[in-house]
Every structure is written in structure tokens, then in C-alpha cells.
Amino acid sequence: MAELNGKVPVITIDGPTASGKGTVASRVAEALGFHYLDSGALYRVVGLVCLRNNVPLDDMAAVTAHAMAIKPRFAGGRVTLGTEDITAAIRTEEVGQAASRAAVISSVRDALAELEKNARRAPGLVADGRDMGSVIFPDAPLKVFLTASAEARAHRRYKQLIEKGLDVKLSDLVSEMKERDLRDMRRAHAPLAPAEGARILDSSFLTIEETVEKVLYWWLECTKR
């Protein structure tokens, strides 16, 4: 299906960190043959660049300047910046924290908004993030807010990091999740919250497969209207 109501269709999947939205969104996109936008990766690229250049994350002008300058490329599940593959580099906890701090700066969000909007291409797009449905694609026919308890999300992240051979404490991850949730919800510009008309999906006790199946079912409902 190339269009829905005259526009390239978009499914937005927003939610807090480690809710599984990236995995779910990419699998939904694959199932439908749609493009996939990982908006969080853009903020992680900004965080990585700022850390590498020793840019204070409270220096709004400097962080914004770096956000305006980035030109990452996404292809085949990999992220490159220039000639460097930064797929693994942007997934560290340090970069994630830096990305969260950069994301509270309204001028940074404005700088990345055009990159996000330009990802809307036929036959369709599945976009995940924190404000995809509320700010970037408010006309999306299906908006999903994917959530889970902080404990469930921390446990998922813990397993991922342990599998990578990293030494982490589950209790620390729970605290970090809660702290990041508060920061995202309290920011003045595009705070983390379900978009108007979004369907809430709590995945605390669902598998990835069950979550994907639910989103695809909702999409089928949308196309039948």
C-alpha cells in the first residue's frame, strides 16, 4: 500500500528507553516492507560527537551546532558517520546518557526534526522514538506508545549488557531508567508522553513476537477503515 488517505503512511512507536520500541519497530517495518527510522540513533550520534569533542552537554549553543552538522547514514542495520561505522559506539550507556541530556535542548530537537521528517518515503515508514507521534508525524494513522515497568526494562538492558561481557548492576540500571524517564517527561520541549490518539501497549509481560503481532493487528484495523 503506497498511500493511506492520500499520504505516505507512517506508524509511530514511541516510548521510554529500553521499552523495546526499536526492535518492535524494525520488525514491523520488515513485515510490511516499510522504511524504518530510529530517531533515537540520531540523538545518540549527537551525544557521541559531543563526548568525542569534549563539548559540555549543558552548552546549548555548542551541542546544537554539532547536531546541525551531523550527517549519519543508515543502511543495512548499520550507522556510519563519514567513513566510520559507529553502530556499536552509539549504543553504550555513556552515549545513551549524553543523548538524553542533548534531547532536552529544544534547538537540538528542532535541528534533527527535518532529518526525521525527510525519512517519510513510499511505500511507508515505521518511526520509533519519544515524540514521533506527538510532534514529528502527528498525522500518522497509527500511533503506538510502547511502555513497560522500569524494572522490566532494566532487566532487558541488563541481559543485553551481560551478553556483551560488560560488568553492570541491575539496581543501577533501574535507577538510571527512572532518572532518565523523569528527565524525558519533564523536559520543556516535546516531553515524553503518549501522543493524542495513541494506543498504549504495555509490554512488561509480552514477548517481542507478541508485541509485534499486536502492532500489526492494529495496522490491519487501520487499513480497513
**pLDDT tens digits, 74-131:** 877 789 999 999 999 998 889 988 998 998 899 999 999 988 998 999 999 999 998 8
Structural domain spans, the chain: 10-215
pLDDT for the residue 217:
97
Tens digit of each residue's pLDDT (9 = 90 or more) over 208-220: 999 999 999 999 9
Looking at per-residue pLDDT, the higher value among 11 and 130 belongs to 11
pLDDT digits (tens, 9 = 90+) for 56-65: 999 999 999 9
Q: Which of 159, 179, 185 is nearest to 97 (CA)?
A: 179
Query: Is 3.40.50.460 the CATH number for 10-215?
Result: no
Could you tell me which residue, 1 or 205, shows the higher pLDDT? 205
Q: 185 or 68: whose pLDDT is higher? A: 68
Pairing status of strand 84-85 against strand 78-81: antiparallel
Q: Which residues, in sequence order, are CB contacts of 81 under 8 Å at separation 6+?
A: 45, 49, 70, 71, 72, 73
4 — pLDDT class (breaks 50, 70, 90): low
146 neighbors 20 (Cβ within 8 angstroms): yes
150-162: average pLDDT: 88
What are the pLDDT digits (tens) for 16-62?
A: 888 889 899 999 999 999 999 999 999 999 999 999 999 999 999 99
Distance CA 66, CA 111 (A): 10
Task: Considering only the C-alpha atoms of the chain, give the largest distance between any 2 of them, rounded to a whole number of Å.
Answer: 51
